[in-house]
Amino acid sequence: MKHPLHRFDSPAAVIPWQAIDDRVMGGVSASHMRHDPTGHGVFEGEVSLDNNGGFASVRAPAVAPEAAAGALACLLEVRGDGRRYKFNLRSDDGFDGVTHQAAFQAPAGEWTVIRLPLAGFAATWRGRPASAGPISAAQIRQVGLLIADRQAGPFRLDVREIALGD
């Protein structure tokens, strides 16, 4: 069973998504989430390695429906650009703190569903390993997308849906 957290089929779907780029530490990378009129979201921008930067991200609140409490994985329907991304989960509503991350690389130019088992998410704090237990579907309060592949330049990840499932 699939339990949607975010669908990007309307312009309103991107409103809660906020960019958090390396500018928070003096970098100059920039990103945003926008709606594409063909019915999906677009996480895009440019990564810069200047000023010790190198990451761009967006995040939004996401409270898992009660029926999804036992879900085992995150399901991302995406179309990539050949670059490597990370999907982030947070168990609180705060700005800073422990994030659980899983890396993925969607095929360039091709829609696919990426399955990320919750058991495979690694706890991090500001990009470094953190000591925290695993995250469960019932604990999810925020979701996010991140690019930090040490490659400067433009990026684009198309997203139709973010869901929880088996």
Cα–Cα distance between 35 and 58 in angstroms, integer?
14
Please give the model's pTM, rounded to 2 decimal places. Answer: 0.94
* Average pLDDT by stretches of 10, the chain with 166 residues: 95 97 92 98 97 95 87 98 97 89 96 98 88 91 96 97 96
The yes/no answer on whether domain 3-165 falls in CATH 2.60.120.430 is: yes
Residue 55 is predicted with a pLDDT of 95
User: What's the confidence (pLDDT) of residue 127?
Assistant: 78
Q: Are 158 and 65 in contact (CB under 8 A)?
A: no
Q: Are 40 and 8 in contact (CB under 8 A)?
A: yes
Give me the helices (H) in the chain, please: none
Query: Could you give the 3-state DSSP secondary structure of residue 137?
Result: helix
Q: Given this model, what pLDDT does residue 63 score?
A: 76
Each domain of the chain, given as residue ranges in start order, spans: 3-165
| CA–CA gap between residue 67 and residue 55 (Å, rounded) | 34
